[in-house]
Amino acid sequence: MLSTLPPQHRETVSQIVRFGMVGLALTVLYSVIYWPLATYVMWPVFAVVIAFGVAVTVGFFLHSRWSFKGHGKVEDRRTKLQFLGVQTFGFVLNATFTWVCTDVLGGPTWWPLVPAVLVTPFATYLLNRLWVFA
């Protein structure tokens, strides 16, 4: 099926698959760090800071060198700053989801993982593709 697509669409589909694979790994990494910290150690929003920091650091290298390899810009200072901006947006989303789900709604610490998995990756993919690595 992929071979029947025009070359530019094949690359986009391949890029989405690579981004998804890295994103899935980063989501697992984020969850494995966030959930125990939020459940047993600290206020859930603080756990987001630690988990997101680790995931962003790993994510930059994987996305810039594999997910978006050969797509647009070469890794430079501006790209790093734009990537940091997108990740800050993703962090704010996850911190907001966490605050609303655990503090405002009084839900368990796993609730914020649902929007963190279903919303944040799609938002950051679009921003990375259209702005950071364009």
- Model confidence, pTM: 0.72
Q: Which two tokens stand for residue 127?
A: 């921003």
Say how far apart CA 89 and CA 76 lie, in whole Å.
Answer: 20
- Domain ranges in the chain are 8-132
Portion of the chain with pLDDT greater than 70, in percent: 88
- The model's pLDDT over 99-113, given as tens digits with 9 standing for 90+, comes to 999 999 999 999 999
Q: What integer best gives the mean pLDDT of the chain?
A: 84
Q: How far is CA 15 from the centre of its chain?
A: 15
